[in-house]
Amino acid sequence: MNDLDTIFDDSWPEDHRSGFVAVVGRPNVGKSTLMNTILGQKVAIVTPRPQTTQRQQLGIYSETHGQIIFVDTPGLHHPQHKLGEFMVRVAEDAVRDADVILWVLDVSVPPTTADIYIAETIQRLGKNTPVILALNKADLLAPQNRDAYVSACEALIPHQQAMLMSALNDEGVRDLIDILLALLPEGPRYYPADQVSEVNLRFIAAEVIREKIMLATEQEIPHSVAVEIAEYKERSENMTYISAIIYVERDSQKGIIIGKGGSMIKKLGQETRAELEPILGTQVYLDVQVKVLKNWRSDPKLMQRLGYRISRDTKD
């Protein structure tokens, strides 16, 4: 049996390491890009907008002697509505439960007040959990700022190790994997070695649609959008039918997403199909509706209806 066969075998060696790594950081520092780079494929949507990730997502990295379960969390921030509170609670739960905390920082700029808030949160919830600082976007770091910005990031919190890297350019990623594996306890493989995510295809379809909306629209639209997959059916070996409902909070937002003469919704459908078809291995028939669900981000019942649920009620 060669090494590749071992990776995809259901057994594991005695010295196998495994565990959960909480990926935290303020919005838009490259957490999802880093996960996608490590896993070698897209499991988390990426846009230039903050708070793109709204729910906890698992990314599963496996090799012969270890399995890392990355918990990609929404960016830690001061919430302004119920959805924001949900996102923060998801991130905080991940910090509490992690074997290792991976804090991703944008080293191309000095630390912000948001970073100080995250440091306080990690120290409050992470207790004795080891912390690794991934000083991301090193490719954008001006040489004259290197020493000052790196030192400022390292001073934020006690940590096991800090490393410069660029998730976008795959620089330093292999070294980061080795560091994380060394910190995990010895344990079994929790997921099959060829599995990279726990999300199902319905979730992936909804996230791709939401990504296309975030990239195509501006200002208040992106974070006022929720996507529900009403129906997902494999009609044949070559055709998958997906019925999706895009929810917005106001009539004006509905008009923007539909566009003049349906131009925007048509564009969103084309871009979504182009991304989903290689993933699914079939053609995609996409039926999209846009509906108004007023103030859904501030209504816990509406949020639950759309799948935003807190696993437990935790108190500090």
- For 228-261, the pLDDT digits (tens) are 888 888 888 899 999 999 988 888 889 989 999 9
pLDDT at 308 (0 to 100): 64
Per the confidence metrics, is the pTM higher than 0.75?
no
- For 260-315, the pLDDT digits (tens) are 999 999 999 999 999 888 877 889 999 999 998 887 777 777 777 666 664 444 34
Q: Which CATH class is domain 3-183?
A: alpha beta
Start-to-end CA span in the chain (Å): 50
Between 156 and 200, the more confident residue is 156
Distance CA(13)–CA(293), nearest Å, equals 52
Q: Which of 58, 59, 23 is nearest to 40 (CA)?
A: 59
Residue 107, Cβ density class (10 Å: 0-12 exposed, 13-18 middle, ≥19 buried): buried
DSSP-assigned letter for residue 126:
-
pLDDT at 26 (0 to 100): 84
CATH 3.30.300.20 positions along the chain are 201-305
Question: Could you tell me the CA-to-CA distances from 283 to 219, 240, 242, 266, 274 in Å, in that order?
Answer: 33, 6, 11, 17, 9
Confidence of residue 35 (pLDDT cuts 50, 70, 90): confident
Between 41 and 95, the more confident residue is 95
Question: Could you tell me the CA-to-CA distances from 224 to 1, 26, 62, 210, 228 in Å, in that order?
Answer: 52, 20, 36, 10, 13
The CATH fold assigned to 201-305 is GMP Synthetase; Chain A, domain 3 (3.30.300)
In sign, the C-alpha dihedral spanning 30, 35, 41, 47 is negative
Q: Which of 37, 186, 196, 199 is nearest to 104 (CA)?
A: 37
In this structure, which amino acid lies at residue 72? D
CATH 3.40.50.300 positions along the chain are 3-183
Q: Which of 276, 254, 275 is nearest to 265 (CA)?
A: 254
Is the model's pLDDT at 48 over the cut of 60?
no
In this structure, which amino acid lies at residue 152? A
pLDDT at 316 (0 to 100): 42
The answer to whether residues 303 and 83 touch, using CB atoms and an 8 Å cutoff, is yes
Which tokens hold the place of 264? 């925007």
pLDDT at 78 (0 to 100): 54
Q: Which of 29, 21, 107 is nearest to 56 (CA)?
A: 21
Residues near 310 by Cβ (< 8 Å), separated by ≥ 6?
86, 89, 90, 93
Bridge-partner residues for 21, per DSSP? 70, 100
DSSP E strands: which ranges in the chain? 17-24, 57-63, 66-72, 100-106, 131-136, 161-164, 226-236, 239-248, 283-292
Distance CA(60)–CA(13), nearest Å, equals 18
Average pLDDT, stretch 158-169?
95
The answer to whether residues 252 and 221 touch, using CB atoms and an 8 Å cutoff, is no
pLDDT at 5 (0 to 100): 44
Q: Is 2 helix (H, G, I), strand (E, B) or coil?
A: coil
